[in-house]
Amino acid sequence: MEPEVTGYLGEEVTLRCQFIPGPKDDIISQVEWELETPEGEDITIIVSGGRVKIAEQSLIIGNVETRDAGSYTCSVAAFPSGAFKGTTKLVVQEQKPLSAGTVSAIVIAVMLLFGIVAAIAYLIFIRKRDPKVRHRVYIDTDGPVMDVSRQSVLKRDVDVVYSDVRLKTPRDAPPDDEHTADDVTYADVVVVRHQLQ
């Protein structure tokens, strides 16, 4: 018998009792279970259906309740060897602990969620704080589509014409809302031309 078994409320628990016969061919004539409650009360368990049943010599309790906790003694009478006893303690708990797989899944989900939130925060707050971000645009004038990852693309900077940019103030903007040169996002435009040979 196991010294202690944990049962969970509403679940089924098995209190194992196994008689191992010796060299003689013993015949089991009787199996009896007794419960000593935490309050010290001795109860003889009679199986007549319901939540309790015996399989082999083991006691199976279905739909475990708090009052099922205590020390259970299994008594086996065998012929010709005699009588044997063993005791196991049933501890009743409210819920099963989480399995290792469940804990791993929760940790992975939390880490993934944290990564997504961090990426969104970066895109919203950090990237917006630097309005001077420069974008480079490549234009291939010789083909309908340009693959910028191609190594054979020739890049040549051409003269860029700058013009005066004035920001138009929206009508509903407050009069003290002033724009500065830092409000402009710059872009480089590069024209790529292929030379025919």
Residue 176 has pLDDT above 80, yes or no: no
Assigned token pair, 181: 């040169």
Q: What is the pLDDT of residues 97-153, one digit of tens each?
A: 778 888 889 999 999 999 998 888 877 776 665 555 555 555 555 555 555 555 444
Rounded distance, CA 92 to CA 7, Å?
Answer: 5
- For residue 63, CA distances in Å to 8, 26, 50, 89, 153 come to 9, 34, 10, 17, 74
Residues contacting residue 41 through CB under 8 Å, at least 6 positions apart:
none
Amino acid 53 reads K
Residue 59 has pLDDT above 80, yes or no: yes
**Of 3, 4, 16, 23, whose CA–CA distance to 56 is shortest?**
16
Rounded distance, CA 63 to CA 58, Å?
Answer: 16
| Cβ contact 73:85 at 8 Å | yes
pLDDT above 70 coverage of the chain, percent: 63
Residue predicted with more confidence, 76 or 129: 76
